[in-house]
């Protein structure tokens, strides 16, 4: 009986692995240029549920503090380490109608400290999430170049892509963690807090 359970478990894991391999390669040609990472590893929010059942996968929210504070975050997130931050003296981007973010100068050091302090290896699988998949692709490329080969980008991010037409045109209603109905909360758990903010 134990062998039967073990075999079912092995077959399920093999099926999941095959599904992820085929899904990431099948959609690679359809990925917008700004969402392509050098690692070439992607997971959609719809696929993330099964992917994150593996507790060894480390789920990073790399959005800004404001995004996490006001929009919430997935309850499964292991830690928040912002890739971009609002500068001390923000500059308004008239074309985009928002304030410009800048690269967090501590992102790489904070990430590597988190890896070291949590006894993770360079082969650990990391899933990075931003608003819609662009920043996570850039951050994944940075970590990949730094020697972390298994860095996945959440392709549609937390809020998803903008609708191109219809009554929701221009609004982020197409896909994304929240839009596909996955678990999230406005409350940031202590273990999820950006490590630099705990000091």
β partners of residue 92: 99
Domain that residue 51 falls in: 33-198
Give the C-alpha separation, 196 to 116, whole Å. 15
% the chain with pLDDT above 70: 85
pLDDT band at 18 (very low <50, low <70, confident <90, very high): very low
pLDDT(14) > 90: no
Give the chain's domain count: 2
149 with 76, same domain? Answer: yes
92 with 118, same domain? Answer: yes
What is the pLDDT averaged over residues 63-88?
A: 96
Nearest to 124 by CA among 142, 147, 108, 101: 147
CATH number at residue 127: 3.40.250.10
User: pLDDT digits over 50-69, tens only?
Assistant: 999 999 999 999 999 999 99
Element (H, E) at 137: helix 134-145
106 with 180, same domain? Answer: yes
144 with 81, same domain? Answer: yes
pLDDT band at 28 (very low <50, low <70, confident <90, very high): low
8 with 90, same domain? Answer: no
């Amino acid at each position: 009986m134990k062998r039967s359970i073990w075999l079912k478990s092995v077959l399920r894991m093999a099926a999941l692995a095959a599904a992820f391999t085929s899904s990431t390669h099948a959609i690679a040609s359809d990925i917008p240029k700004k969402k392509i990472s050098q690692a070439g590893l992607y997971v959609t929010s719809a696929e993330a549920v099964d992917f994150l059942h593996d507790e060894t996968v480390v789920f990073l929210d790399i959005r800004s503090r404001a995004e996490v504070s006001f929009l919430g975050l997935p309850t499964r997130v292991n830690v928040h380490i912002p890739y971009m931050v609002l500068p001390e003296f923000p500059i308004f981007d008239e074309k985009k109608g928002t304030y410009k973010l800048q690269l967090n100068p501590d992102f790489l050091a904070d990430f590597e400290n988190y890896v070291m302090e949590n006894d993770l290896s360079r082969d650990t699988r990391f899933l990075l999430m931003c608003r819609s998949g662009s920043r996570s692709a850039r951050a994944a490329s940075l970590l990949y170049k730094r020697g972390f080969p298994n860095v996945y980008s959440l392709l549609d991010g937390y809020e998803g892509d903008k609708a191109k037409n219809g009554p929701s045109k221009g609004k982020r209603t197409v896909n994304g963690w929240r839009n596909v109905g996955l678990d999230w909360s406005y409350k940031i758990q202590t273990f999820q807090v950006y490590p630099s903010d705990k000091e």
